[in-house]
Structure 1
Amino acid sequence: MKALTAMLCAGLAMGLAACGARNTASNVEAPGAPAGVSTRVLDAGADALQARPPIAALNAYLDGFHFYNGNLRGQMEAHHYCAIVNEELIQCVIYDGNVKDAKLMGVEYIVSARLYEGLPAAEKALWHSHVHEVKSGQLIAPGIPAVAEKALMQKLVATYGKTWHTWHTDVHKTLPLGVPQLMMGFTNDGQADAAMVAARDRRFRIDSAEKRRQRADIPAPAIMDGADAWQHGTTIQLADPTGTQHGSSSLPSPSTHTAEPAISRPAR
Protein backbone atom coordinates (compact mmCIF):
# COMPACT_ATOMS: atom_id res chain seq x y z
CA MET A 1 0.00 0.00 0.00
CA LYS A 2 2.91 2.38 0.63
CA ALA A 3 4.04 2.05 -3.00
CA LEU A 4 0.47 2.60 -4.15
CA THR A 5 0.15 5.69 -1.96
CA ALA A 6 3.36 7.13 -3.41
CA MET A 7 2.08 6.47 -6.93
CA LEU A 8 -1.23 8.14 -6.13
CA CYS A 9 0.43 11.20 -4.64
CA ALA A 10 2.73 11.55 -7.63
CA GLY A 11 -0.23 11.28 -9.98
CA LEU A 12 -2.20 13.82 -8.01
CA ALA A 13 0.68 16.28 -8.06
CA MET A 14 1.12 15.86 -11.82
CA GLY A 15 -2.40 16.06 -13.11
CA LEU A 16 -5.34 16.44 -10.75
CA ALA A 17 -5.99 20.08 -11.56
CA ALA A 18 -6.12 19.28 -15.25
CA CYS A 19 -8.27 16.18 -14.93
CA GLY A 20 -11.32 17.11 -12.93
CA ALA A 21 -10.22 18.65 -9.65
CA ARG A 22 -12.54 21.65 -10.01
CA ASN A 23 -15.31 20.69 -12.40
CA THR A 24 -18.26 19.97 -10.11
CA ALA A 25 -20.02 22.82 -8.37
CA SER A 26 -21.77 22.46 -5.02
CA ASN A 27 -25.44 21.51 -5.07
CA VAL A 28 -26.48 24.11 -2.52
CA GLU A 29 -26.09 27.79 -1.69
CA ALA A 30 -25.61 28.22 2.04
CA PRO A 31 -27.06 31.35 3.65
CA GLY A 32 -24.87 33.85 5.47
CA ALA A 33 -23.12 37.14 4.96
CA PRO A 34 -19.96 37.14 2.81
CA ALA A 35 -16.70 36.82 4.72
CA GLY A 36 -15.51 40.23 5.97
CA VAL A 37 -11.98 41.56 5.94
CA SER A 38 -11.16 40.37 9.47
CA THR A 39 -12.44 36.87 8.70
CA ARG A 40 -10.40 36.71 5.51
CA VAL A 41 -7.29 37.86 7.38
CA LEU A 42 -7.83 35.22 10.07
CA ASP A 43 -8.36 32.58 7.38
CA ALA A 44 -5.17 33.56 5.57
CA GLY A 45 -3.20 33.60 8.83
CA ALA A 46 -4.46 30.19 9.84
CA ASP A 47 -3.67 28.84 6.39
CA ALA A 48 -0.10 30.13 6.61
CA LEU A 49 0.68 29.26 10.23
CA GLN A 50 -1.34 26.25 11.34
CA ALA A 51 -0.38 22.67 10.59
CA ARG A 52 -3.19 20.32 9.56
CA PRO A 53 -1.78 16.77 9.58
CA PRO A 54 -5.16 14.95 9.32
CA ILE A 55 -6.19 17.10 6.35
CA ALA A 56 -2.79 16.75 4.69
CA ALA A 57 -3.26 12.97 4.85
CA LEU A 58 -6.28 13.19 2.50
CA ASN A 59 -4.21 12.26 -0.52
CA ALA A 60 -6.61 10.15 -2.60
CA TYR A 61 -9.69 11.43 -4.47
CA LEU A 62 -12.52 9.09 -5.48
CA ASP A 63 -15.77 9.93 -7.23
CA GLY A 64 -18.76 7.60 -7.13
CA PHE A 65 -22.43 7.33 -6.25
CA HIS A 66 -24.52 6.55 -3.17
CA PHE A 67 -28.18 5.96 -2.40
CA TYR A 68 -30.18 6.12 0.81
CA ASN A 69 -30.38 2.74 2.48
CA GLY A 70 -34.01 1.76 2.01
CA ASN A 71 -34.57 4.06 -0.97
CA LEU A 72 -32.86 3.02 -4.17
CA ARG A 73 -34.22 6.05 -5.99
CA GLY A 74 -32.65 8.56 -3.62
CA GLN A 75 -29.31 8.75 -5.45
CA MET A 76 -26.46 11.24 -5.57
CA GLU A 77 -22.87 11.72 -6.68
CA ALA A 78 -20.29 11.70 -3.90
CA HIS A 79 -16.79 13.17 -3.98
CA HIS A 80 -14.51 11.29 -1.57
CA TYR A 81 -11.27 12.72 -0.21
CA CYS A 82 -9.50 9.85 1.52
CA ALA A 83 -6.61 9.09 3.85
CA ILE A 84 -5.02 5.66 3.66
CA VAL A 85 -4.58 4.91 7.36
CA ASN A 86 -2.95 1.51 6.86
CA GLU A 87 -3.15 -1.60 4.67
CA GLU A 88 -6.69 -2.37 5.82
CA LEU A 89 -8.35 0.95 6.69
CA ILE A 90 -9.17 4.01 4.61
CA GLN A 91 -11.19 6.98 5.90
CA CYS A 92 -12.88 9.51 3.64
CA VAL A 93 -14.70 12.80 3.93
CA ILE A 94 -17.43 13.25 1.34
CA TYR A 95 -18.45 16.46 -0.46
CA ASP A 96 -21.16 17.39 -2.95
CA GLY A 97 -18.58 18.85 -5.34
CA ASN A 98 -14.87 19.37 -5.87
CA VAL A 99 -14.68 23.17 -5.74
CA LYS A 100 -13.56 25.31 -2.80
CA ASP A 101 -17.07 25.95 -1.49
CA ALA A 102 -18.24 22.33 -1.84
CA LYS A 103 -20.43 21.22 1.06
CA LEU A 104 -19.34 18.47 3.44
CA MET A 105 -21.94 15.69 3.04
CA GLY A 106 -20.62 12.90 5.21
CA VAL A 107 -17.98 10.27 5.87
CA GLU A 108 -17.09 6.79 4.69
CA TYR A 109 -14.92 4.18 6.38
CA ILE A 110 -13.45 1.47 4.15
CA VAL A 111 -12.07 -1.78 5.55
CA SER A 112 -10.45 -4.90 4.16
CA ALA A 113 -12.35 -8.16 3.79
CA ARG A 114 -10.42 -9.53 6.76
CA LEU A 115 -11.52 -6.73 9.07
CA TYR A 116 -15.07 -6.88 7.77
CA GLU A 117 -15.25 -10.63 8.38
CA GLY A 118 -14.45 -10.07 12.05
CA LEU A 119 -17.36 -7.68 12.64
CA PRO A 120 -20.45 -8.73 14.64
CA ALA A 121 -23.37 -9.85 12.48
CA ALA A 122 -25.53 -6.85 13.43
CA GLU A 123 -22.71 -4.46 12.50
CA LYS A 124 -22.21 -6.04 9.08
CA ALA A 125 -25.68 -4.91 8.01
CA LEU A 126 -24.41 -1.30 8.02
CA TRP A 127 -21.73 -2.01 5.39
CA HIS A 128 -21.78 -2.28 1.61
CA SER A 129 -19.55 -4.06 -0.89
CA HIS A 130 -17.50 -2.31 -3.59
CA VAL A 131 -17.37 -5.04 -6.23
CA HIS A 132 -19.96 -3.57 -8.58
CA GLU A 133 -18.80 0.02 -8.07
CA VAL A 134 -15.32 -0.98 -9.20
CA LYS A 135 -16.19 -3.48 -11.95
CA SER A 136 -18.90 -1.27 -13.50
CA GLY A 137 -16.58 1.71 -13.87
CA GLN A 138 -18.82 3.87 -11.67
CA LEU A 139 -16.07 4.45 -9.10
CA ILE A 140 -13.22 6.56 -10.46
CA ALA A 141 -10.05 8.22 -9.15
CA PRO A 142 -9.81 11.41 -11.23
CA GLY A 143 -6.50 12.92 -12.19
CA ILE A 144 -4.11 10.01 -11.67
CA PRO A 145 -2.47 7.83 -14.35
CA ALA A 146 -4.53 4.90 -15.58
CA VAL A 147 -2.07 2.37 -14.15
CA ALA A 148 -2.36 3.95 -10.68
CA GLU A 149 -6.15 4.09 -10.86
CA LYS A 150 -6.36 0.42 -11.81
CA ALA A 151 -4.00 -0.54 -9.00
CA LEU A 152 -6.19 1.35 -6.56
CA MET A 153 -9.34 -0.32 -7.91
CA GLN A 154 -7.71 -3.74 -7.53
CA LYS A 155 -7.25 -2.85 -3.86
CA LEU A 156 -10.77 -1.47 -3.39
CA VAL A 157 -12.74 -4.22 -5.14
CA ALA A 158 -12.49 -6.53 -2.12
CA THR A 159 -13.23 -3.86 0.50
CA TYR A 160 -16.37 -2.84 2.39
CA GLY A 161 -17.64 0.63 3.21
CA LYS A 162 -19.81 2.18 5.91
CA THR A 163 -21.16 5.57 4.85
CA TRP A 164 -23.19 8.18 6.70
CA HIS A 165 -24.38 11.37 5.03
CA THR A 166 -24.97 14.31 7.36
CA TRP A 167 -26.03 16.94 4.79
CA HIS A 168 -28.68 15.71 2.37
CA THR A 169 -27.98 18.17 -0.42
CA ASP A 170 -30.59 16.62 -2.70
CA VAL A 171 -33.28 17.73 -0.21
CA HIS A 172 -31.85 20.56 1.91
CA LYS A 173 -30.44 23.29 -0.32
CA THR A 174 -29.35 25.72 2.39
CA LEU A 175 -28.31 24.05 5.66
CA PRO A 176 -27.59 20.49 6.93
CA LEU A 177 -31.00 19.71 8.41
CA GLY A 178 -32.37 16.43 9.71
CA VAL A 179 -30.43 13.44 11.02
CA PRO A 180 -27.62 11.40 9.44
CA GLN A 181 -28.68 8.78 6.94
CA LEU A 182 -27.00 5.46 6.17
CA MET A 183 -25.96 5.19 2.52
CA MET A 184 -25.30 2.21 0.27
CA GLY A 185 -23.49 1.51 -3.00
CA PHE A 186 -24.97 -0.03 -6.14
CA THR A 187 -24.65 -3.77 -6.61
CA ASN A 188 -26.05 -4.45 -10.09
CA ASP A 189 -26.52 -2.90 -13.51
CA GLY A 190 -29.68 -0.86 -13.97
CA GLN A 191 -29.77 0.49 -10.40
CA ALA A 192 -27.87 3.76 -10.87
CA ASP A 193 -29.59 6.57 -12.74
CA ALA A 194 -27.98 6.41 -16.19
CA ALA A 195 -28.39 10.17 -16.71
CA MET A 196 -26.59 10.87 -13.42
CA VAL A 197 -23.66 8.67 -14.41
CA ALA A 198 -23.51 10.11 -17.92
CA ALA A 199 -23.47 13.68 -16.57
CA ARG A 200 -20.56 12.79 -14.29
CA ASP A 201 -18.71 11.15 -17.18
CA ARG A 202 -19.08 14.26 -19.33
CA ARG A 203 -17.72 16.53 -16.61
CA PHE A 204 -14.68 14.34 -16.04
CA ARG A 205 -14.28 13.49 -19.72
CA ILE A 206 -14.26 9.78 -19.02
CA ASP A 207 -16.31 6.78 -20.17
CA SER A 208 -17.60 4.45 -17.47
CA ALA A 209 -18.27 1.75 -20.05
CA GLU A 210 -14.65 1.91 -21.20
CA LYS A 211 -13.44 1.69 -17.60
CA ARG A 212 -15.64 -1.39 -17.18
CA ARG A 213 -13.83 -2.98 -20.12
CA GLN A 214 -10.42 -1.98 -18.75
CA ARG A 215 -11.26 -3.54 -15.38
CA ALA A 216 -12.64 -6.79 -16.80
CA ASP A 217 -9.52 -8.66 -15.65
CA ILE A 218 -9.83 -7.48 -12.03
CA PRO A 219 -11.06 -10.56 -10.14
CA ALA A 220 -14.49 -10.10 -8.56
CA PRO A 221 -14.34 -11.59 -5.05
CA ALA A 222 -17.38 -13.27 -3.53
CA ILE A 223 -19.30 -10.81 -1.36
CA MET A 224 -19.23 -11.83 2.27
CA ASP A 225 -22.37 -12.60 4.23
CA GLY A 226 -24.07 -9.64 5.89
CA ALA A 227 -23.02 -6.91 3.45
CA ASP A 228 -25.57 -5.13 1.25
CA ALA A 229 -28.22 -6.29 3.72
CA TRP A 230 -30.95 -4.27 1.97
CA GLN A 231 -30.86 -6.84 -0.84
CA HIS A 232 -31.83 -9.56 1.62
CA GLY A 233 -34.76 -7.87 3.33
CA THR A 234 -32.99 -5.90 6.05
CA THR A 235 -32.91 -2.12 5.75
CA ILE A 236 -31.42 -0.17 8.64
CA GLN A 237 -32.04 3.57 8.71
CA LEU A 238 -32.40 6.32 11.27
CA ALA A 239 -35.89 7.72 11.54
CA ASP A 240 -35.83 11.46 10.82
CA PRO A 241 -37.92 13.39 13.39
CA THR A 242 -38.08 16.37 11.02
CA GLY A 243 -40.28 14.35 8.66
CA THR A 244 -37.88 14.75 5.75
CA GLN A 245 -38.48 12.31 2.91
CA HIS A 246 -35.08 11.27 1.61
CA GLY A 247 -35.51 10.57 -2.08
CA SER A 248 -38.62 9.97 -4.13
CA SER A 249 -39.67 6.38 -3.53
CA SER A 250 -39.08 3.44 -1.24
CA LEU A 251 -37.57 0.18 -2.41
CA PRO A 252 -40.09 -1.84 -4.41
CA SER A 253 -39.24 -5.14 -2.72
CA PRO A 254 -42.13 -6.27 -0.46
CA SER A 255 -39.68 -8.18 1.73
CA THR A 256 -37.74 -5.07 2.71
CA HIS A 257 -38.46 -3.61 6.11
CA THR A 258 -37.05 -0.72 8.08
CA ALA A 259 -35.36 -1.60 11.34
CA GLU A 260 -34.44 1.30 13.58
CA PRO A 261 -31.08 0.55 15.21
CA ALA A 262 -30.84 0.62 18.98
CA ILE A 263 -30.07 4.15 20.15
CA SER A 264 -29.21 4.94 23.74
CA ARG A 265 -31.42 7.70 25.13
CA PRO A 266 -30.75 9.78 28.24
CA ALA A 267 -32.85 8.98 31.26
CA ARG A 268 -35.69 11.39 31.95
Structure 2
Amino acid sequence: MRRLTLALVAALTLSACGANNSPPQAPIPGQKTSAGLKTLEAGATLIQSRPPVEAISTYLDGFHFYSGDKNGQMEAHHYVTVLNEEVMQAVIYDGNTKDARLMGVEYIISERLFNALPPEEKKLWHSHQYEVKSGSLVAPGLPAAADKALMSRIVNTYGKTWHTWHTDRDKTLPLGIPALMMGFTGEGQLDPTLLAERDRRMDIDTPAVKRQREDLPAHPVLPGANAWERGEVIQLRRVNGSGEHGRGDTGHFTGAEQVRGKE
Protein backbone atom coordinates (compact mmCIF):
# COMPACT_ATOMS: atom_id res chain seq x y z
CA MET A 1 0.00 0.00 0.00
CA ARG A 2 2.57 2.51 -1.11
CA ARG A 3 0.02 5.30 -1.55
CA LEU A 4 -1.11 5.37 2.07
CA THR A 5 -0.59 8.82 3.52
CA LEU A 6 1.97 9.47 6.23
CA ALA A 7 -0.89 10.25 8.58
CA LEU A 8 -2.43 6.84 8.00
CA VAL A 9 0.87 5.05 8.44
CA ALA A 10 1.40 6.90 11.71
CA ALA A 11 -2.08 6.03 12.88
CA LEU A 12 -1.57 2.36 12.09
CA THR A 13 1.38 2.25 14.46
CA LEU A 14 -0.87 3.08 17.40
CA SER A 15 -1.27 -0.57 18.29
CA ALA A 16 -2.57 0.19 21.77
CA CYS A 17 -5.73 1.84 20.43
CA GLY A 18 -8.90 -0.20 20.39
CA ALA A 19 -7.47 -3.20 22.24
CA ASN A 20 -7.96 -5.10 25.49
CA ASN A 21 -11.73 -4.74 25.52
CA SER A 22 -12.85 -8.06 23.97
CA PRO A 23 -11.65 -11.07 25.98
CA PRO A 24 -12.39 -14.61 24.75
CA GLN A 25 -15.56 -16.16 26.12
CA ALA A 26 -14.80 -19.90 26.18
CA PRO A 27 -12.44 -21.36 28.84
CA ILE A 28 -9.46 -23.50 27.87
CA PRO A 29 -8.89 -26.80 29.67
CA GLY A 30 -5.44 -27.39 31.13
CA GLN A 31 -3.24 -26.36 34.00
CA LYS A 32 -2.13 -22.77 34.55
CA THR A 33 1.13 -21.68 32.93
CA SER A 34 4.02 -22.64 35.20
CA ALA A 35 6.70 -20.23 36.38
CA GLY A 36 9.27 -22.17 34.36
CA LEU A 37 7.33 -21.85 31.12
CA LYS A 38 6.76 -18.14 31.79
CA THR A 39 10.52 -17.69 32.22
CA LEU A 40 11.22 -19.49 28.94
CA GLU A 41 8.60 -17.34 27.23
CA ALA A 42 10.09 -14.12 28.58
CA GLY A 43 13.59 -15.17 27.53
CA ALA A 44 12.47 -16.08 24.02
CA THR A 45 10.69 -12.74 23.72
CA LEU A 46 13.94 -10.92 24.48
CA ILE A 47 16.23 -13.06 22.32
CA GLN A 48 14.28 -14.27 19.30
CA SER A 49 13.07 -12.16 16.40
CA ARG A 50 9.54 -12.50 14.96
CA PRO A 51 9.51 -10.77 11.55
CA PRO A 52 6.15 -12.19 10.33
CA VAL A 53 4.46 -11.13 13.57
CA GLU A 54 6.14 -7.75 13.64
CA ALA A 55 4.93 -7.13 10.07
CA ILE A 56 1.31 -7.07 11.29
CA SER A 57 0.29 -3.43 10.97
CA THR A 58 -3.49 -3.12 11.08
CA TYR A 59 -6.32 -4.24 13.36
CA LEU A 60 -9.78 -4.75 11.84
CA ASP A 61 -12.92 -5.91 13.59
CA GLY A 62 -15.85 -7.42 11.69
CA PHE A 63 -18.19 -10.39 11.50
CA HIS A 64 -18.28 -13.76 9.72
CA PHE A 65 -20.77 -16.56 9.29
CA TYR A 66 -20.45 -20.19 8.25
CA SER A 67 -21.00 -20.87 4.55
CA GLY A 68 -24.36 -22.66 4.60
CA ASP A 69 -25.39 -21.44 8.05
CA LYS A 70 -26.11 -17.72 8.19
CA ASN A 71 -27.27 -18.10 11.80
CA GLY A 72 -23.75 -19.19 12.78
CA GLN A 73 -22.40 -15.67 13.24
CA MET A 74 -19.42 -14.44 15.22
CA GLU A 75 -17.22 -11.40 15.74
CA ALA A 76 -13.76 -11.72 14.20
CA HIS A 77 -10.69 -9.72 15.19
CA HIS A 78 -8.30 -9.45 12.22
CA TYR A 79 -4.60 -8.62 12.54
CA VAL A 80 -3.47 -7.75 9.03
CA THR A 81 -0.14 -7.84 7.19
CA VAL A 82 0.18 -6.01 3.87
CA LEU A 83 2.21 -8.21 1.51
CA ASN A 84 1.99 -5.89 -1.49
CA GLU A 85 -0.36 -3.48 -3.25
CA GLU A 86 -2.86 -6.24 -4.05
CA VAL A 87 -2.44 -8.94 -1.40
CA MET A 88 -2.96 -8.88 2.36
CA GLN A 89 -3.21 -11.64 4.94
CA ALA A 90 -4.81 -11.68 8.36
CA VAL A 91 -4.68 -13.86 11.44
CA ILE A 92 -8.09 -13.94 13.12
CA TYR A 93 -8.78 -14.12 16.85
CA ASP A 94 -11.93 -14.37 18.97
CA GLY A 95 -10.84 -11.37 21.04
CA ASN A 96 -8.26 -8.60 21.25
CA THR A 97 -6.62 -9.47 24.57
CA LYS A 98 -3.34 -11.34 24.98
CA ASP A 99 -5.15 -14.61 25.77
CA ALA A 100 -7.40 -14.46 22.68
CA ARG A 101 -7.81 -17.69 20.72
CA LEU A 102 -6.46 -17.94 17.19
CA MET A 103 -9.63 -18.69 15.20
CA GLY A 104 -8.40 -18.76 11.62
CA VAL A 105 -6.94 -16.89 8.68
CA GLU A 106 -8.14 -14.64 5.88
CA TYR A 107 -6.47 -13.83 2.57
CA ILE A 108 -7.45 -10.53 0.93
CA ILE A 109 -6.85 -9.75 -2.74
CA SER A 110 -7.62 -6.99 -5.22
CA GLU A 111 -10.42 -6.95 -7.80
CA ARG A 112 -7.89 -7.59 -10.54
CA LEU A 113 -6.50 -10.71 -8.92
CA PHE A 114 -9.94 -12.02 -8.01
CA ASN A 115 -11.21 -11.53 -11.55
CA ALA A 116 -8.39 -13.76 -12.85
CA LEU A 117 -9.30 -16.72 -10.61
CA PRO A 118 -10.91 -19.88 -12.03
CA PRO A 119 -14.71 -20.04 -11.59
CA GLU A 120 -14.57 -22.81 -8.97
CA GLU A 121 -12.00 -20.90 -6.93
CA LYS A 122 -14.09 -17.72 -6.96
CA LYS A 123 -16.84 -19.55 -5.07
CA LEU A 124 -14.61 -19.67 -1.99
CA TRP A 125 -14.28 -15.89 -1.80
CA HIS A 126 -16.55 -13.15 -0.44
CA SER A 127 -16.76 -9.45 -1.25
CA HIS A 128 -16.01 -6.67 1.23
CA GLN A 129 -18.12 -3.92 -0.31
CA TYR A 130 -21.09 -4.17 2.06
CA GLU A 131 -18.95 -4.77 5.14
CA VAL A 132 -17.08 -1.53 4.53
CA LYS A 133 -19.98 0.65 3.37
CA SER A 134 -22.28 -0.52 6.19
CA GLY A 135 -19.74 0.31 8.90
CA SER A 136 -19.76 -3.24 10.27
CA LEU A 137 -16.06 -3.60 9.43
CA VAL A 138 -14.04 -1.15 11.51
CA ALA A 139 -10.45 -0.31 12.41
CA PRO A 140 -10.74 0.35 16.16
CA GLY A 141 -8.75 3.31 17.41
CA LEU A 142 -8.02 4.92 14.04
CA PRO A 143 -8.96 8.57 13.51
CA ALA A 144 -11.78 9.11 11.01
CA ALA A 145 -9.48 10.33 8.22
CA ALA A 146 -7.10 7.39 8.58
CA ASP A 147 -10.03 4.98 8.77
CA LYS A 148 -11.49 6.32 5.54
CA ALA A 149 -8.17 6.11 3.73
CA LEU A 150 -7.71 2.53 4.85
CA MET A 151 -11.25 1.47 3.98
CA SER A 152 -10.93 3.01 0.52
CA ARG A 153 -8.27 0.35 -0.10
CA ILE A 154 -10.39 -2.49 1.28
CA VAL A 155 -13.89 -1.74 -0.03
CA ASN A 156 -13.33 -3.37 -3.44
CA THR A 157 -11.26 -6.33 -2.28
CA TYR A 158 -12.21 -9.99 -1.83
CA GLY A 159 -11.47 -12.36 1.03
CA LYS A 160 -11.12 -16.11 1.53
CA THR A 161 -11.53 -17.09 5.17
CA TRP A 162 -11.08 -20.37 7.01
CA HIS A 163 -11.82 -20.79 10.70
CA THR A 164 -10.03 -23.58 12.56
CA TRP A 165 -11.18 -22.98 16.15
CA HIS A 166 -14.95 -22.61 16.45
CA THR A 167 -15.12 -20.83 19.79
CA ASP A 168 -18.61 -19.52 19.03
CA ARG A 169 -19.88 -23.08 19.49
CA ASP A 170 -18.47 -23.41 23.01
CA LYS A 171 -15.58 -25.58 21.90
CA THR A 172 -12.81 -25.22 24.44
CA LEU A 173 -10.24 -26.77 22.10
CA PRO A 174 -9.75 -26.45 18.29
CA LEU A 175 -11.92 -29.48 17.53
CA GLY A 176 -13.39 -30.61 14.24
CA ILE A 177 -12.35 -29.57 10.76
CA PRO A 178 -11.80 -26.09 9.26
CA ALA A 179 -14.87 -24.18 8.12
CA LEU A 180 -15.22 -21.82 5.16
CA MET A 181 -16.60 -18.48 6.29
CA MET A 182 -18.49 -15.78 4.42
CA GLY A 183 -19.11 -12.04 4.84
CA PHE A 184 -22.42 -10.19 4.96
CA THR A 185 -23.67 -8.60 1.75
CA GLY A 186 -26.88 -6.76 2.69
CA GLU A 187 -29.13 -5.26 5.34
CA GLY A 188 -30.91 -7.56 7.76
CA GLN A 189 -28.32 -10.35 7.64
CA LEU A 190 -26.10 -9.50 10.61
CA ASP A 191 -27.60 -10.13 14.04
CA PRO A 192 -28.26 -6.61 15.42
CA THR A 193 -27.57 -7.80 18.96
CA LEU A 194 -24.11 -8.94 17.95
CA LEU A 195 -23.39 -5.58 16.32
CA ALA A 196 -24.79 -3.58 19.25
CA GLU A 197 -22.66 -5.50 21.74
CA ARG A 198 -19.53 -4.84 19.67
CA ASP A 199 -20.36 -1.15 19.40
CA ARG A 200 -21.01 -0.83 23.13
CA ARG A 201 -17.78 -2.57 24.08
CA MET A 202 -15.63 -0.61 21.63
CA ASP A 203 -17.50 2.69 21.86
CA ILE A 204 -18.29 2.65 18.12
CA ASP A 205 -21.20 4.44 16.43
CA THR A 206 -21.81 2.23 13.40
CA PRO A 207 -24.46 4.53 11.81
CA ALA A 208 -21.97 7.43 12.04
CA VAL A 209 -19.22 5.29 10.50
CA LYS A 210 -21.59 4.36 7.69
CA ARG A 211 -22.33 8.04 6.99
CA GLN A 212 -18.61 8.87 6.93
CA ARG A 213 -18.07 6.23 4.23
CA GLU A 214 -20.98 7.14 1.97
CA ASP A 215 -18.74 8.62 -0.71
CA LEU A 216 -16.27 5.73 -0.83
CA PRO A 217 -16.21 4.41 -4.42
CA ALA A 218 -17.64 0.89 -4.16
CA HIS A 219 -17.68 -1.07 -7.40
CA PRO A 220 -20.33 -3.68 -8.29
CA VAL A 221 -19.44 -7.09 -6.88
CA LEU A 222 -17.73 -9.22 -9.52
CA PRO A 223 -19.46 -12.42 -10.70
CA GLY A 224 -18.43 -15.57 -8.88
CA ALA A 225 -18.06 -14.20 -5.34
CA ASN A 226 -20.50 -14.83 -2.48
CA ALA A 227 -21.54 -18.25 -3.77
CA TRP A 228 -23.90 -18.72 -0.81
CA GLU A 229 -26.22 -16.08 -2.30
CA ARG A 230 -26.76 -18.40 -5.28
CA GLY A 231 -27.57 -21.35 -3.03
CA GLU A 232 -24.12 -22.94 -3.28
CA VAL A 233 -22.88 -24.11 0.09
CA ILE A 234 -19.22 -25.08 0.16
CA GLN A 235 -17.65 -26.79 3.15
CA LEU A 236 -14.97 -29.38 3.74
CA ARG A 237 -16.06 -32.81 4.86
CA ARG A 238 -14.39 -35.81 6.41
CA VAL A 239 -13.45 -38.71 4.14
CA ASN A 240 -15.81 -40.84 6.23
CA GLY A 241 -18.82 -39.25 7.90
CA SER A 242 -20.75 -36.06 7.47
CA GLY A 243 -19.56 -32.50 7.39
CA GLU A 244 -19.84 -30.25 10.43
CA HIS A 245 -20.49 -26.68 9.37
CA GLY A 246 -23.49 -26.51 7.06
CA ARG A 247 -26.39 -28.43 5.62
CA GLY A 248 -27.67 -29.53 2.22
CA ASP A 249 -31.25 -29.85 1.00
CA THR A 250 -31.60 -33.35 2.46
CA GLY A 251 -29.86 -32.59 5.74
CA HIS A 252 -26.65 -34.42 4.84
CA PHE A 253 -23.57 -33.72 2.79
CA THR A 254 -22.59 -35.15 -0.57
CA GLY A 255 -19.35 -34.98 -2.52
CA ALA A 256 -15.80 -35.97 -1.74
CA GLU A 257 -14.36 -32.69 -0.52
CA GLN A 258 -16.94 -29.94 -0.84
CA VAL A 259 -20.58 -29.60 0.02
CA ARG A 260 -23.04 -27.80 -2.17
CA GLY A 261 -26.61 -27.19 -1.21
CA LYS A 262 -29.04 -24.35 -0.71
CA GLU A 263 -28.75 -21.67 1.94
What TM-score results when the alignment is normalised by the length of structure 2?
0.91
1:129 aligns with 2:105: no
The code of the aligned residue for 1:71 comes to D
SS of equivalent to 2:75? strand
Residues 95 and 104, structure 1, Cα contact 8 Å, conserved in 2: yes
In 2, Cα distance between equivalents of 1:37 and 1:188: 49
Q: Is the deviation greater in 177-186 or in 34-43?
A: 34-43
TM-aligned CA deviation for residue 238 of structure 1: 1.5
Change (3 A) 1:22 1:216: same
In 2, Cα distance between equivalents of 1:162 and 1:6: 29
For structure 2, list consecutive stretches of 5 or more residues without a partner in the other structure. Answer: 259-263
In 2, Cα distance between equivalents of 1:25 and 1:65: 16
CA-to-aligned-CA distance 1:194-239 (integer Å, 9 cap, x gap) = 0000100111101111111110001220110100011012111113
Residue 162 (structure 1) aligns with: 160
TM-aligned CA deviation for residue 56 of structure 1: 0.3
Residue 202 (structure 2) aligns with: 204
Residues 237 and 260, structure 1, Cα contact 8 Å, conserved in 2: no
1:221 aligns with 2:219: yes
Give the count of matched residue pairs. Answer: 257
In 1, Cα distance between equivalents of 2:151 and 2:255: 33
In 1, Cα distance between equivalents of 2:139 and 2:6: 15
CA-to-aligned-CA distance 1:26-75 (integer Å, 9 cap, x gap) = 12111111111210110000000000000001110000000000011100
The code of the aligned residue for 2:165 comes to W
Residue 51 (structure 1) aligns with: 49
Residue 106 (structure 1) aligns with: 104
CA-to-aligned-CA distance 1:79-100 (integer Å, 9 cap, x gap) = 0001000000000000000000
SS of equivalent to 1:77? strand
SS of equivalent to 2:168? coil
TM-aligned CA deviation for residue 170 of structure 1: 1.1
Residue 182 (structure 2) aligns with: 184
Change (3 A) 1:259 1:135: farther
Residues 58 and 81, structure 2, Cα contact 8 Å, conserved in 1: yes
In 1, Cα distance between equivalents of 2:90 and 2:187: 25
SS of equivalent to 1:198? helix
Cα RMSD after superposing both structures? 2.4
In 2, Cα distance between equivalents of 1:124 and 1:244: 21
The code of the aligned residue for 1:2 comes to R
SS of equivalent to 1:55? helix
Change (3 A) 1:4 1:207: same
Off by >3 Å, runs of 4+ in structure 1: 5-9, 240-247, 257-263
In 2, Cα distance between equivalents of 1:242 and 1:101: 33
TM-aligned CA deviation for residue 260 of structure 1: 4.6
For structure 1, list consecutive stretches of 5 or more residues without a partner in the other structure. Answer: 264-268
1:62 aligns with 2:60: yes
Higher relative contact order (CA 8 A, sep 6+): 1
Residue 150 (structure 1) aligns with: 148
In 2, Cα distance between equivalents of 1:98 and 1:232: 34
Residue 261 (structure 2) aligns with: none
The code of the aligned residue for 1:96 comes to D
Q: Is the deviation greater in 238-247 or in 209-218?
A: 238-247
In 1, Cα distance between equivalents of 2:182 and 2:30: 32
Q: Is the deviation greater in 19-28 or in 236-245?
A: 236-245
Residues 111 and 156, structure 2, Cα contact 8 Å, conserved in 1: yes
In 2, Cα distance between equivalents of 1:259 and 1:67: 21
CA-to-aligned-CA distance 1:132-177 (integer Å, 9 cap, x gap) = 0000000000112211111111110110000000000011431010
